């Protein structure tokens, strides 16, 4: 029993809460009134776009109710009273959050608002500005207008058809159209004052069709609207247009985009879908609680320049005459667009047939010339070249060079003799060791012939120590396999490389000597400090030894300081010797930060003498690189000395040099910046060229040598302008 009572109480709570929940989730309502039926294309486009935009843009549940008033065909006072009674009965108990009314339905909806919803905001969209200005002043009413730009359409038509003599205006015979006739006529006449005006209104449909058929060729027709003819027959402007176009009328223009594609050439057309979107966005602001009086006044810009490509072609109107910003619709596909795949297939089939015939005619000639060409190429290649089969047997070879006979018994005739096994010859030389270093050659040849390698190159010494040879092997992409093998004497190239390396090292050594010479005062200062400390500590130790009793701990401390200062002086001297010493390049692992610190200590006193502030900003973790430490320190030293020279002309207190290191994308980076005069575009273009310098006494070799050193280390050096003034040099090295 207690559990049953608890369940009953829970149900009662749900029933009591249901109204409040329903109230919190009630959808907001926007009520739209339009003057015509949904069968009118303009009304259909406007309402469909309005509904979709509101539903997509609302932040919560919303309901869009649309009322079609059919005022174009039913405009009597009795009909209006019947509408009023109907909507009063329909909406007496409902209160929408926003009201929207389109065009001629505005007077009727204003009466409904005063009677049913006096405090519900109303947005009215009229056909012209003077209609909006005539609306009553109310904080719950905002009037905007969407102007049908008849004068612009007339001027556009005359621009496209400059030989036009007669402009023809067509309107229906409904009361609304008769009331608007004088205004529309004035709009047309004002845009074409020098053309003959013909007005066609108050006619039956058959009379209208007959009159249009008999118009002269130099006429242009403007169909503004057609809701009813003189007999009372109801039809839309869209339907009247199709009938007139089918009768062979002159060029027809309009102001409604809904008619585009049914026979009009085009014009400045009202885009009712665009208008529906713009009006819906204003309605959403009303749904959010914004007052109607705060909505922006003025017109909606919903007119577009649009034309039918088929009608332009029909009336021989080139698209070059169209106003800027025009959009052309309904372009007819050309022959290529319509039959693209068929024409492509025919062209491809014909091309393939022609190619096949050409191949068959040339195949025999190619086969006959292939062997002659192959032999000619082999004969023209430097060194000895041979074609081997899969087992390493020589199939063809070019004449051998006499200089290759230095391979001690492995003459070119023996190596590349047709029918002989080149692979076995190299294997035998590898087993006997004469000449030496044949094992890599035989291994490479075996790998290429077996398919384990596609190609390869190996260099090896000749029988004498000062000779070098290069063997290249490349696998033949043939079903039967094989390889192309070339043997060349590369002794001149190796000698040239060694001489170039020696010359580069010599230039680098001379540059180091020059830079170290410039730092003589700084180096003397660095040595003077530990030597002065040694002298002071030695004198103090002598005095301590003469005391009684002797202070042995203090004497021991003095001697330890002497040893430390001696080591420091020795390190400075060893570092200077390393910079000045000629030696072989040795690539070992170094901490790039430590190399930079040593150079900073070396130039620190020189910077003080120049009155420059040297600011190190080094990476917190080691930057390990595999390099020759002396050469890298030469690069750093060169960049620092250049930076100190650059800030020399600056006023005291503005001579700044910054040194930064960091790890960047797997590379060690050094940046040296200065606050000097900077680098011009001309200097940047030539700064790394040999013998180019901006210093009065410079040789122009420092940066050129520095870049060469970094290139040997697979690094890079570049210069650029420093933001804020000065120069910036950046060098990068791969991490070890």
Q: Are residues 620 and 673 in the same domain?
A: yes
CB-based contact 606:647 (threshold 8 Å): no
CATH of the domain at 264: 3.40.50.2300
Q: How many residues does the chain have?
A: 736
CA distances from 577 to 296, 496, 518, 581, 708 (A): 84, 29, 15, 6, 22
Residue 563 has pLDDT above 50, yes or no: yes
Question: Is residue 8 included in any domain, yes or no?
Answer: no
Same domain, 209 and 307: yes
> What pLDDT shows up at residue 405?
47
pLDDT at 151: 95
Q: Which domain holds residue 136?
A: 24-147+270-300
Which of 82-96, 285-299, 357-371, 373-387 is predicted least confidently? Answer: 373-387
Select from 432, 463, 487 the last residue of a domain: 487
E strand intervals along 367-467: 384-388, 394-397, 455-461
- Residue 183 in any domain: the answer is yes
Handedness of CA 176, 177, 181, 185 (dihedral sign): positive
**Where is the domain boundary, 300, 315, 348?**
300
Sheet with 656-664, edge to edge strand ranges: 613-617, 656-664, 667-674, 727-734, 716-721
Specify the pLDDT at position 401: 44
Average pLDDT rounded to a whole number, residues 467-495 = 81
* Same structural domain, 128 and 200: no
Note the pLDDT of residue 648: 87
One domain, residues 655 and 619: yes
| 422: pLDDT strictly greater than 50 | yes
Count of alpha carbons within 13 angstroms of residue 28, beta-carbon side: 20
Average pLDDT over residues 56-75: 88
**Within 13 Å of residue 229, how many CA atoms lie on the same side as its CB?**
12
C-alpha–C-alpha distance, residues 497 and 503, integer Å: 10
First to last CA, the chain: 84
**Rounded (5°) CA angle 672-678-679:** 100
- For residues 295 and 417, state if they share a domain: no
Most confident of 217-221, 379-383, 553-557: 217-221
**Residue 708: in which H helix or E strand, if any?**
helix 702-712
For residue 88, count other CB atoms closer than 10 A to its CB. 12
Looking at the predicted structure, is the pLDDT value of residue 213 above 60?
yes
Strand order in the sheet with 455-461: 394-397, 384-388, 483-489, 468-475, 455-461
Q: Report pLDDT digits (tens) over 592-602.
A: 999 999 888 87
Residue 377: the pLDDT is 61
Assign residue 434 the CATH number of its domain.
3.30.450.20
Q: Count of CB atoms within 10 A of residue 373's CB?
A: 10
**pLDDT score of 251:** 95
Q: Is the pLDDT of residue 559 over 50?
A: yes
Q: How many domains does the chain have?
A: 4
pLDDT per residue as tens digits for the range 113-172 = 999 999 999 999 998 888 888 999 999 999 999 989 999 999 999 999 999 999 999 998
Q: Apex CA 238: angle with CA 233 and CA 240, to 5°?
A: 45
Quick one: pLDDT at residue 187?
Answer: 93
Tell me the three state secondary structure of residue 195. Answer: coil
- For residue 14, give the DSSP letter: H
DSSP secondary structure string, 86-153? HHHHHHTT---SEEEEEGGGHHHHHHHHHHH-TTS-EEEEESSHHHHHTSPP-TTEEEEE----HHHH
For residue 407, the model assigns a pLDDT of 54
Residue 721 CA to chain centroid, in angstroms? 26
CATH number, position 514? 3.30.565.10
What per-residue confidence (pLDDT) applies to 21?
A: 40
With CA atoms as reference, report the closest residue to 382 among 444, 499, 497, 469: 469
The reply to whether 534 and 449 lie within a common domain is no
Q: Of the ranges 106-120, 452-466, 619-633, which is most confident? A: 106-120
Does 582 score more than 70 pLDDT? no
450 and 548 part of one domain: no
Structure letter (DSSP) for residue 735:
-
Distance between CA atoms of residues 319 and 10, nearest Å? 75
Task: State whether 472 and 618 are in the same domain.
Answer: no
Does a structural domain hold residue 539?
A: yes
Tens digits of residue pLDDT in 665-718: 889 999 999 999 888 888 888 888 877 777 766 666 778 888 888 888 889 999
Is residue 207 within 8 Å of 230, Cβ to Cβ? yes
CA distance 577 to 566: 16
Q: β-strands 196-200, 219-225: how paired?
A: unpaired
**343 is a domain residue:** no
Spell out the residues 6+ positions from residue 699 whose beta carbon is closer than 8 angstroms to its own: 514, 691, 693
| Res 672: pLDDT | 95
The whole-chain average pLDDT of the chain stands at 82
């Amino acid at each position: 029993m207690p559990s049953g009572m608890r369940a009953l109480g829970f149900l009662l709570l749900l029933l009591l809460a249901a109204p409040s929940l329903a109230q919190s989730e009630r959808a907001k309502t926007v009520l739209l009134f339009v003057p015509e039926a949904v069968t009118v294309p303009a009304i259909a486009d406007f309402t469909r776009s309005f509904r979709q935009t509101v539903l997509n843009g609302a932040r919560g549940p919303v309901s869009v109710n649309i009322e079609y008033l059919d005022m174009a065909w039913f405009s009597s006072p009795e009909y209006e009273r019947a509408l009023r009674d109907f909507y009063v009965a329909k909406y007496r108990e409902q209160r929408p959050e926003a009201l929207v009314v389109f065009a001629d339905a505005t007077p009727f909806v204003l009466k409904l608002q005063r009677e049913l919803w006096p405090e519900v905001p109303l947005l009215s969209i009229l056909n012209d500005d003077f209609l909006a200005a005539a609306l009553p002043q109310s904080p719950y009413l905002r009037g905007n207008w969407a102007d049908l730009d008849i004068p612009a359409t007339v001027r556009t038509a005359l621009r496209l058809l400059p030989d036009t003599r007669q402009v023809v205006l067509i309107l229906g015979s409904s009361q609304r159209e008769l009331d608007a006739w004088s205004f529309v006529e004035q709009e047309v006449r004002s845009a074409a004052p020098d053309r003959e005006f013909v007005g066609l209104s108050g006619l039956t449909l058959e009379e209208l069709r007959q009159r249009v058929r008999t118009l002269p060729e130099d006429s242009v027709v403007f169909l503004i609207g057609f809701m009813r003819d003189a007999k009372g027959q109801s039809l839309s402007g869209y339907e009247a247009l199709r009938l007139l176009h089918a009768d062979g009328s002159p060029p027809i223009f309009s102001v409604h985009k809904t008619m585009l594609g049914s026979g009009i050439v085009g014009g400045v057309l009202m885009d009712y879908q665009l208008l529906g979107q713009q009006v819906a966005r204003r309605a959403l602001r009303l749904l959010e609680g914004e007052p109607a009086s705060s909505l922006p006044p003025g017109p909606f810009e919903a007119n577009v320049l649009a034309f039918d490509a088929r009608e332009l072609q029909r009336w021989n109107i080139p698209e070059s005459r169209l106003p800027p910003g025009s959009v052309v619709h309904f372009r007819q596909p050309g022959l290529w667009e319509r039959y693209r795949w068929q024409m492509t297939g025919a062209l491809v089939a014909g091309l393939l047939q022609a190619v096949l015939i050409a191949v068959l005619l040339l195949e025999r000639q190619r086969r006959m010339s292939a062997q002659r060409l192959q032999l000619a190429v082999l004969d023209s290649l430097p060194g000895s070249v041979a074609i081997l089969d899969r087992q390493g047997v020589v199939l063809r070879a070019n004449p051998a060079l006499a200089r290759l006979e230095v391979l001690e018994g492995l003459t070119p005739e023996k190596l590349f003799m047709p029918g002989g096994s080149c692979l076995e010859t190299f294997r035998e030389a590898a087993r006997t060791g004469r000449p030496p270093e044949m094992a890599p050659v035989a291994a490479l040849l075996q790998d290429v012939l077996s398919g384990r390698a596609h190609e390869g190159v190996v260099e090896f010494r000749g029988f004498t120590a000062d000779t070098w040879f290069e063997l290249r092997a490349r696998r033949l992409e043939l079903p039967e396999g094989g390889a192309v093998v070339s043997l060349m004497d590369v002794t001149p190239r190796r000698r040239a490389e060694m001489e170039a390396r020696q010359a580069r090292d010599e230039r680098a050594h001379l540059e180091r000597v020059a830079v170290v010479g410039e730092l003589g005062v700084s180096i003397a200062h660095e040595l003077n400090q530990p030597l002065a400390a040694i002298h002071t500590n030695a004198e103090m130790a002598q005095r301590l030894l003469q005391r009684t009793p002797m202070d042995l701990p203090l004497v021991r401390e003095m001697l330890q300081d002497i040893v430390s200062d001696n080591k420091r002086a020795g390190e400075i001297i060893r570092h200077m010797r390393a910079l000045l010493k000629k030696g072989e390049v040795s690539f070992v692992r170094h901490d790039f930060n430590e190399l930079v610190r040593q150079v900073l200590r070396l130039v620190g006193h020189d910077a003080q003498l120049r009155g420059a502030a040297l600011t190190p900003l080094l990476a917190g973790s080691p930057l390990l690189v595999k390099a020759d430490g002396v050469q890298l320190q030469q690069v750093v030293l060169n960049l620092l000395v250049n930076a100190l020279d650059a800030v020399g002309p600056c006023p005291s207190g503005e001579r700044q040099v910054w040194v930064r290191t960091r790890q960047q994308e797997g590379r060690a980076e050094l940046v040296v910046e200065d606050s000097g005069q900077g680098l011009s575009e001309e200097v940047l273009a030539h700064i790394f060229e040999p013998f180019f310098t901006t210093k009065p006494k410079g040789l122009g070799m420092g940066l050129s040598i520095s870049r060469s050193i970094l290139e040997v280390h697979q690094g890079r050096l570049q210069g650029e302008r420093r933001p804020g003034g000065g120069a910036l040099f950046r060098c990068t090295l791969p991490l070890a």
